[in-house]
Amino acid sequence: MSAVMITRKVRKWEKLPGKNTFCCDGRVMMARQKGVFYLTMFLIIGTCSLFFAFECPYLAVHLSPAIPVFAALLFLFVMAMLLRTSFSDPGVLPRALPEEASFIEMEIEAANVNVPAGQRPPPRIRNVQINNQIVKLKYCYTCKIFRPPRASHCSICDNCVDRFDHHCPWVGNCVGKRNYRYFYLFTMSLSLLTIYIFTFDIVHVLLVCFFTLWSVVGLTGFHTYLISLNQTTNEDIKGSWSGKNRVQNPYSHKNIIKNCCEVLCGPTYPSVLDRRGLMLEDISPSVTPAAPSSSNPTPQTTKTTAPLIPNEHTPDDTHKSIAASAEESPSPREERSPVSKVPPLASPETDAETSLAKDKAH
């Protein structure tokens, strides 16, 4: 029996922890709960389909053909921003490797040596200074890392997200550092599309547009307020930079235009997950049976082992060799059985007969 270890190359997204789902060989990343996302697409596509089917022909003939063209362009922009927000990496932070996690644990234990026995150890935090303001970095017990500033752990996706804003079920993904601007552009363009359809279509989709108008426009106004302060939804809910704590927002430039430019026009940050990178995976070893020595297997009653010293035989091998030699060596009877070609010894009678025969020949 021999064990064969097999390794194969896999994409890193196949082994990433968390509760995200991946499609298209890791290019598409979403949360597992996608039911509300499908409802969002149904509402947008359904409302616009009714508008294009019943109202646009009349508006194109009696008012202007530019009305349905502008509505189509706005609809395509809304769908592009929705898919960009839903299918992109929001800024998930990779978890610590086992070696890194053990090193961090050693550092924390070394810092808590002076804590008396029975007393609760202090919280695992680190302090950093940002714009002359002390910011605490909290330790994530799931990802085994100290989270960067403004990062938080999403309980739905089970991952730490950089500059975490919130988890939006309507887009089926977290909203964070890498897709917040697309989320805001989606809500703003959807508000414009809703107002546009509501203006020209008051009869057929009045009820849908009424509820959508208040919810989407209100959400857009709320995020516009957050962007002007350079603040996230998570920080606003927790009151991280509220006046009651007497802590100022260290990320705000104290200027609405600068804050909006940083959030909406800043650089696009690359993903740190390397989802489509390759890694080696060890497959469980497969045991291959040894080939039988003879066609007629014999029952194994004793277990023999190979000799440790070369040219040395085990007791079983000596018995087998003795038996084999005994089978190969012929018996004494078999040695005498072949007829000898040597003529028999001559007797007096035969000598006389041979001499007479020679005289006659002469």
User: DSSP string covering 335-351, please?
Assistant: HH-SPP-SPPPPPHHHH
b/e sequence 14-52, b meaning 16+ C-beta within 10 Å: eebebebebeeebebbbbeeeeebeebeeebeebbeebe
Mean pLDDT on 167-190: 94
Average pLDDT over residues 236-252: 77
| DSSP β-bridge partners for residue 133 | 130
- Number of H-type helices and E-type strands within the chain: 11, 11
Q: Enumerate the β-bridge partners of residue 231.
A: none
At residue 10, what are phi and psi to the nearest 5 degrees?
-130, 160
For the annotated catalytic residues, the residue numbers are 168
Please state, in angstroms and rounded to a whole number, the distance separating the CA atoms of residues 84 and 274: 18
Question: Rounded to whole angstroms, how far apart are CA atoms 214 and 221?
Answer: 10
Of 231 and 343, more confident: 231
Contact 196, 64 (CB under 8 A): no
Query: What are the angstrom distances between the C-alpha of 258 and each of 221, 252, 253, 264, 315?
Result: 18, 9, 6, 10, 91
Q: Please state the rounded mean pLDDT for residues 156-173.
A: 93
pLDDT at 321: 46
Highest mean pLDDT among 11-20, 98-107, 166-175: 166-175
Residue 345: what pLDDT? 45
pTM for the full model? 0.71
Query: Any residues with CB less than 8 A from the CB of 360 and at least 6 apart, and which?
Result: none
Q: How far is CA 171 from CA 31, 47, 81, 144, 287, in A?
A: 9, 17, 10, 28, 48
Q: Please report, rounded to a whole number, the percentage of residues in the chain having pLDDT higher than 90.
A: 26
**pLDDT beyond 60 at 342:** no
pLDDT of residue 84: 94
Position 304 scores a pLDDT of 43
Q: What is the pLDDT of residue 185?
A: 95
Comparing 360 with 118, the larger pLDDT belongs to 118
CA angle 260, 131, 151 (to 5 degrees): 65
**Segment (H or E) for 130:** strand 125-130
pLDDT band at 124 (very low <50, low <70, confident <90, very high): confident
